[in-house]
Amino acid sequence: SLSLFIGCGNGDTNGDNGSEDEVQSIEWRLGHLGNDTHLWNVTALHFADLVNEKTDGQVTISVYPNEQLGNEIDNINMIQSGTADMVISGESMQNWAEKAALMAVPYAFNDIDHLRSVVEGEIGAEIETEISEKIGLKALYYHVRAPRNLTSNYPISTPADLAGFSMRVPNVPLFVEAWKAAGANPQVMAFSEVFTALQQNVINGQENPYDLIHSANFNEVQEYTNETEHVYGWLYVLVGEDQFAELSEANKAAVLEAAAETQVFADNLFSEEIEKYKAELIERGMKINSDVDKEAFREAMAPAVEEFLSETQLNLYNRIVEA
């Protein structure tokens, strides 16, 4: 028999949950800070299509780029209160789950392969578990990221060049400490506010991977990308555990299958597209300073990193650098 299940919203606690023949009608709202052509958005739309197909339209996902659902931190709070359902997030989750700090520690990873092995291994699993327990978010698939670089209006090659340099960092306490130690004057700001702050000289710079520098058109308000490559990291695409629990068993399986397929899509898209962002920024007139003393930045940040990390975090950190 087919029990019609109409308008199943967030927080609905109908005892039918999980029954096999239940027809659901669920809409999830996913927010992130990239623009509509950014690879996270393209991937999220692909995931939405797959979920729609595999659940016969019972689960639909609406994607909101450019922090249209609110900034990352608000987006997480909204998921917890049931007014949003999904988010793309990473090291900012250290504000709730300390192990999430390991998703982006200055100079912890050597390259993308090192990063991938950690994400796919035991450490990645531990981080996912803590995110689930402490924040109530379930990781569906992930994005590896190109390294973070510092942008500015004059070349910055060593920490000494940071004197008097005020810059934006995301809401990531470890980044605040690391950049202070390097000699800059960092302040926390939502991503969607950075362009205007740069334009109005409220800040002199910011740091992000090439794809987000491109996504937010920072080349219009910043002359240089300095290849500090100070952080390799990754992000999860997450859904609220409560929202996921509402799904019937069949729909849960469909969503997980869609997520596994989307992982392959995301990894392919990353390798195909990631180089293009730098090339296009150069075409747009951005200057690349590749003459950066990365070792000096690493040394300047190292004491702050060590001091910042709790015992738990330091253990994970040591396991990462030894991997």
Tell me which residues touch ligand 2Q2 (CB under 6 A): 33, 72, 89-92, 170, 172, 191, 208, 212, 235
- Which CB, 48 or 150, lies closer to ligand 2Q2? 150
* Residues paired with 138 in a beta bridge: 239
- Which CB, 5 or 165, lies closer to ligand 2Q2? 165
CB of 89: closest distance to ligand 2Q2 in angstroms?
A: 4
CB of 33: closest distance to ligand 2Q2 in angstroms?
A: 6
Q: Where are the beta strands (DSSP E) in the chain?
A: 26-31, 59-64, 86-89, 137-144, 148-152, 166-169, 185-188, 205-208, 224-231, 234-240, 287-289
CB of 72: closest distance to ligand 2Q2 in angstroms?
A: 5
CB of 303: closest distance to ligand 2Q2 in angstroms?
A: 22
The DSSP H or E segment spanning 171 is: none
Question: Phi and psi of 126, rounded to 5°?
Answer: -65, -40
- Which CB, 208 or 228, lies closer to ligand 2Q2? 208
What sections of 162-223 are H helices per DSSP? 173-182, 194-199, 210-215
CB of 71: closest distance to ligand 2Q2 in angstroms?
A: 8
Residue closest to ligand 2Q2 when measured from CB atoms: 92
Q: Rounded distance, CA 147 to CA 149, Å?
A: 6
Q: How far is CA 231 from CA 10, 272, 279, in A?
A: 36, 21, 20
